[in-house]
A and B are shown apart, each in its own frame.
Chain A
Amino acid sequence: MKAKITITLKNGVLDPQGAAIENALAGLGFDGAAGVRQGKVIELKLAETDEGAARAKVEEMCQKLLANPVMENYAIEILA
């Protein structure tokens, strides 16, 4: 199975990179582009064949390494 993890900064956490992107978009004339937030996507393959087991394993990976729960949220997608 494959997993796709999307990591984003929590609401309320300052995202200076997102703010810089927003300014650059405005500079290019994209009026009205607001609320830009930058995150990261991690993809990986798993040996598990059961979706629930795969999700549990990725959840543990997120808790232990992939995300920092102090400032980040994560969303897990399990792809067949």
Chain B
Amino acid sequence: MKTAVIVFPASNCDRDIAVALEQATGTAPEMVWHGQTELPDADFYALPGGFSYGDYLRAGAMAAKSPIMRAVIDKAKAGAPLIGVCNGFQILCETGLLPGALMRNAGLDFVCGDVTLRVDNDQSIFTRGYAKGDYVNFPVAHHDGNYFADDETLDRLEGEGRVALRYVDNPNGSARDIAGLLNDAGNVMGLMPHPERVISPLLGGADGAAFFKGVIEAVS
């Protein structure tokens, strides 16, 4: 089992997700710098949280065009499992791998704290560690997590079961309380909350451990 984490300038959750992946797989992931043009072969790829390129222009916009992302997009389109957390979700939307966009939080505040999420789809490779209707607590820490797409797109996403996680108490104004979203093939997921920060009671919570355990089992 081989995993890889893409590291951008000003990524700041790359080590957190590396620890989560190592806990789930027993092997440390390969860390891949954004300036590389080739990806190592891996069973699972991750775009970490942070503030890549200082959120210049739009959150995730510059990272989405960085050299490594061409290879990441190709891999994802070929079916490789890929997750984007927080800034990673913003990057996925900017690449077009996921529909919609993540805008400034409706309340303008940077939101930081634990949120409760409801699992709406437990059939995806990412959420199979939970049951539909489960409630999990993950932390959020973002300024631009307000998911936006037109109504037609939102209806389609809901109809296709692609809204995997929803906020119980929406912290950022996201359309339809969307916290985590799947692509149409089901191999790409973006979510604003941070499962990688709650993988052990020592970190204040362990609800995220099942997330990584489940997805790593699925791709093994």
Question: Which residues of chain A have a CB within 8 Å of any CB of chain B?
Answer: 13-14, 16-17, 20, 64-66, 68, 70-71
Check B108–A68 contact: CB distance below 8 A. no
> Are A70 and B105 closer than 8 Å at their CB atoms?
no
CB-defined contacts of B93 to chain A, threshold 8 Å: 70
For B101, give its contact among A17, A20, A65, A70 (CB under 8 Å): A70
- In addition to A16-B106, A16-B107, A70-B99, 6 A-B residue pairs with Cβ atoms within 8 Å of each other are A14-B173, A17-B104, A65-B65, A68-B61, A70-B148, A71-B101
Q: Interface size of B by Cβ–Cβ distance < 8 Å?
A: 19
Q: How far is the CA of A20 from the CA of B109 in the complex (A)?
A: 11
CA distance A70 to B147 in the complex (A): 11
Q: List 5 A-B contacts (CB under 8 A).
A: A14-B148, A17-B108, A65-B57, A70-B99, A71-B101
Residues of A with C-beta under 8 A to B104:
16-17
A16 surroundings in chain B (CB, below 8 A): 104-108, 146, 173
Chain A proximity of B140: nearest CB distance (Å): 17
Cβ of B149 and Cβ of A68 under 8 Å apart?
no
| Minimum C-beta distance from B139 to chain A (A) | 22
B65 near A20 (CB under 8 angstroms)? no
Contacts of A13 in B (CB 8 A): 103, 148
Interface centre among A16, A20, A68, A71 (most CB of B within 10 A): A68
Inside 8 A of B108's CB, which chain A residues have their CB?
A: 16-17, 20
Measured CA separation A48–B12 after assembly (Å): 40
- Decide if A66 touches B106 in the complex (CB within 8 Å): no
Q: Does B94 contact A (CB under 8 A)?
A: yes
Complex Cα spacing A16 to B146, Å = 11
- Given the complex, which residues of B lie within 8 Å of A64, measured CB to CB? 65
Asked whether any CB of chain A lies closer than 8 Å to the CB of B100, the reply is: yes
Which residues from B are CB-within-8-Å of A20? 108
Tell me, in angstroms, the Cα distance from A17 to B93 when the chains sit together. Answer: 21
Q: Is B132 in contact with chain A by the CB < 8 A criterion?
A: no
In the assembled complex, B58 has its CB within 8 A of some CB on chain A: yes
